[in-house]
Amino acid sequence: MARKLYPDGLYKTTVSIKKYDENGNLMRVHLSAPTNKELDQKVAELKAKMKFGMFSHDGNKIFGEYAIYWYNTYQKGHCADATAQKYLGIINNHLEPLYNMHLSEITKSDIQNLINMQEGHPDTQRMIKVTANQIFESAIDDELIYKNPCKKIKVKQASGQTKARALTDAEKNAISELKREHAFSPKEQLYVDTLYVSGLRPEEALALTFSDIKDNTITVNKALKWKGGKGLKGPKSKAGYRHVDVPAWYQEEVNSFHLDNNTKFIFTGINGDLISQSTYKRFWLGIWNKINVKLGGKPKIVVQNVVKDPGIAVTDLTPYMFRHNYCTMLYELKVDVKEASRIMGHSNVRITLDIYTHLDSIKSTICQKVAGITL
């Protein structure tokens, strides 16, 4: 069945569940998908569940009860203690006005108002959106509701915060040229290549030992921490413990680097131990400056943590953009979303699915525009 493509790049429809709400209105489930075929499949699956009594719709469940259930089930004991406490703090201190409301009656405006109340605190605003979004996505997975009120919620970007994105073609070309010119130091080159071919979080890459990389596979089982003193910690969540396949040429690069660097950790500080935060900032600035200049910018000069010359920035490139770029490559290679989630070490497949859905939306929009080209 052909359906209308909406501006957000999704096809949408509703299906009656043959029940009535407390006001006597026929209840309908809202479904959406990036293609008509996938939407038809969702409709068929829903109708099959209804036919065999496998469908539930308990939007009357109280938000406060479900939020605590979500925290105990998916956060407490499943991610770093500090991260779990952040989520609990948001639930207790900022989502409390929703506690006695039914999941199904909470609207986009309710969430937006809570975020607006934290004007001037962009980090808190972001955490409110992230926490509420994950709670509602979990409720959708549990078939308690079928619409997430957090979609399209607006959060003001924090000062200095850069939007997550993949590398641009210009950035990738600049990095490739710098590699051909041997402009990076061996350590800089290996760090850039590590981020590019593995999608590791920067703190995971900085904790790597040479024994973690063998047989064209990276074993991720730790991360670098600076808070409370330089040291190691576990990955961001239990899902962070993983194995990531890498190209043979990268394994050879690691082996070659190891011959000239007889240390335990790969990306070390000046004493051959774990790299300090200040040393890492200088290390990354050196990489960034070379890429920025290659793109036509002017280098930023920092001496003893004091900016002597701000330079001219033509790129906002960060280490995390390599991670987003890697996830984009998995999507382009048509890697299954569950497998991509495992490789990325995402704590919830919904995180990966959101990226995939966003990329699908962009692809659909581009296809529509290209289809209108005439000569």
% pLDDT > 90, the chain? 46
User: What pLDDT score was predicted for residue 12?
Assistant: 82
The answer to whether residues 193 and 250 touch, using CB atoms and an 8 Å cutoff, is yes
- Mean pLDDT over 246-253 rounds to 96
- Count of other CB atoms within 10 angstroms of residue 41: 12
Q: Give pLDDT, residue 277.
A: 92
Confidence of residue 147 (pLDDT cuts 50, 70, 90): confident
If you average pLDDT over each of 7-16, 123-132, 147-156, which comes out highest?
123-132
pLDDT in tens, 281-316: 999 999 999 999 999 999 999 887 788 888 999 999
- Give the Cβ contact number of residue 85 at 10 Å: 12
At 302 the pLDDT is 86
Q: pLDDT at residue 69 above 70?
A: yes
pLDDT tens string 77-131: 776 677 888 899 999 999 999 998 888 888 888 999 999 888 878 888 889 999 9
- pLDDT average, residue stretch 207-228: 95
Question: CA angle, corner 203, sides to 80 and 87, nearest 5?
Answer: 30
Which whole number is the average pLDDT over 136-158?
78
Per the document, the length of the chain is: 375
Task: Report the Cα–Cα distance between both ends of the chain, in Å, rounded.
Answer: 31
pLDDT digits (tens, 9 = 90+) for 25-43: 777 777 777 888 888 888 8
Comparing C-alpha atoms, which of 284, 187, 276, 266 is closest to residue 225? 276
Measured from the Cβ of residue 180, the count of other Cβ atoms closer than 10 Å reads 8
pLDDT of the residue at 316: 92
How big is the CA angle at 127 (ends 126 and 133), to the nearest 5 degrees?
90
Report residue 293 as tokens.
């200049």
pLDDT (tens digit per residue) in 257-277: 999 999 999 999 888 899 999
Q: Which tokens hold the place of 183?
A: 């402009």
| Most confident by average pLDDT, 52-61, 96-105, 202-211 | 202-211
| Pick from 104, 109, 107: nearest CA to 143 | 104
3-state secondary structure labels for all residues of the chain: CCCCECCCCCEEEEEEEEEECCCCCEEEEEEEECCHHHHHHHHHHHHHHHHCCCCCCCCCCEHHHHHHHHHHHHHCCCECHHHHHHHHHHHHHCCHHHCCCEHHHCCHHHHHHHHHCCCCCHHHHHHHHHHHHHHHHHHHHCCCCCCCCCCCCCCCCCCCCCCCCCCCHHHHHHHHHHHHCCCCCHHHHHHHHHHHHHCCCHHHHCCCEHHHEECCEEEECCEEECCCCCEEECCCEHHHCEEEECCHHHHHHHHHHHHHCCCCECCECCCCCECCHHHHHHHHHHHHHHHHHHCCCECCEEECCEEEECCECCCCCCHHHHHHHHHHHHHHCCCCHHHHHHHHCCCCHHHHHHHHHHHHHHHHHHHHHHHCCCC
Q: Please tell me the predicted confidence (pLDDT) of residue 22.
A: 60
The pLDDT of residue 55 is 57
Q: What is the pLDDT of residue 268?
A: 95
Q: What is the mean pLDDT of the chain?
A: 85
**pLDDT greater at residue 55 or residue 234:** 234
Which stretch of 70-79, 184-193, 231-240, 295-304 has the lowest confidence by average pLDDT?
A: 70-79
CA separation for the pair 98, 342 (Å, rounded): 33
Please name which of 287, 284, 280, 254 lies closest in space to residue 175, comparing C-alpha atoms: 287
More confident residue, 58 or 187: 187
Instruction: Name the band, by pLDDT with cuts 50, 70 and 90, for residue 247.
Output: very high
Give the percent of the chain with pLDDT over 70.
Answer: 86
Report pLDDT digits (tens) over 317-342: 999 999 999 999 998 898 888 899 99
Query: pLDDT at position 4, please?
Result: 75
* 259: amino acid identity, one letter: L
> Residue 301: phi, psi to the nearest 5?
-115, 120
